[in-house]
A = this chain, B = another copy of it.
Amino acid sequence: MRIEIDLNSEEAIYIQIRNQVVLGVATSRLCEGDSLPSVRQLADMIGINMHTVNKAYHVLKQEGFITLDNRRGAVVALNHDRMQALEEVRSRMTLILAAASCKNISREEVHALVDEIYEGYC
């Protein structure tokens, strides 16, 4: 899977890498057991420093998307902790939906949006 980074983005590079991997898994471009490029490889591909990729991988490991192994590198391995994931979604959506509610976006419109987004995920 190709990982593209916008160096001019306001978003931190390691966050962009993290997001690309999460989106890759969600859209099945990355599957359980797939290997990610090594920190040095990906850093060279993107043209950034090794430590930045390393940081992204550690975030992904912490969030339960990959495992890190000294001999096999980074491998996609999903940790299905439902409670933790649900709480994560809840806390992040609370603020977004607060703003949406302020702007008179109805519950039904949010549902439609959720369905539309889920369409792209498998």
Which of A37-45, A49-57, A102-110 binds B? A102-110
Q: Mark each residue of chain A from 84 to 122: 1 if its CB lies under 8 Å from any CB of chain B, else 0.
A: 011011101111111111111101011101111110011
Q: Report yes or no: A22 in contact with B93, Cβ–Cβ below 8 A.
A: no
Compute how far the CA of A22 lies from the CA of B105 in the bound complex, rounded to whole angstroms.
14
Copies of this subunit: 2
Is the CB of A62 closer than 8 A to any CB of chain B? no
CB proximity of A107 to chain B, nearest CB, Å: 5
- From A85, which residue of chain B is reached at the shortest CB distance? B103
Q: Report yes or no: A93 in contact with B107, Cβ–Cβ below 8 A.
A: no
Q: Report yes or no: B121 in contact with A97, Cβ–Cβ below 8 A.
A: yes
* Pairs of residues from A and B, 4 with the lowest C-beta to C-beta distance, nearest first: A26-B98, A85-B103, A101-B121, A26-B101
- Measured CB to CB, the residues of A under 8 A from B are 19, 22-23, 25-27, 63-65, 78, 80-82, 85-86, 88-90, 92-105, 107, 109-111, 113-118, 121-122
Known: A89-B96, A101-B122. 10 other contacts (CB 8 A): A22-B95, A26-B98, A78-B103, A89-B97, A89-B105, A101-B121, A110-B114, A110-B118, A111-B111, A111-B114
